Amino acid sequence: MAKPTITTLAMCVAILFGAAACGPSLVIQNVDYSQPIESVLSPDSNNDVHDQRYAIKFNVSNLLEEEGTSSVDEIRLIRNNAGYYFVTAAGFNNVYVFETDEGELKLENKIEITEQGLGQPAFNQRDGFIELVDRASGDTYNLNHEGRN
């Protein structure tokens, strides 16, 4: 009587592994993750920013520390077509490029823009790159996740 139970158990395990191996195989390619316009976000008292339009919320304390400041009025955020987030603020010397991971943003690149700090930064989505304009100085920079174009 033990033999049919073992055979049944072995068949169930084989079917289970077979079903798992087949798994979902649907792939959607050529996805464009880009945001058409930048988000301008004000940190709250905990330094959290929340973009309800694009459903992202994160804390900017580490960015502020990296830039040597304790607060900013606004954080500027845009996402390119490959899915990388570009983040900066007035007074920042750099643009930070983040890739998404499960429940976190991981620094992909830190792009040095100016030693004096940006005056009035603004991001624009362009074909194949992110344009950073410092409206205070009139300087324009073309960026991708690897750095300046």
Q: What is the pTM of this model?
A: 0.82
Per-residue pLDDT, 5:
74
Kind of pairing, strands 85-88 and 147-148? Answer: unpaired
Task: Render pLDDT for 90-144 as a digit per residue (tens, 0 to 9).
Answer: 999 999 999 999 999 999 999 999 999 999 999 999 999 999 999 999 999 999 9
Convert the pLDDT of each residue in 36-75 to its tens digit: 999 999 999 999 999 999 999 999 999 999 999 999 999 9
Distance between CA atoms of residues 128 and 93, nearest Å: 23
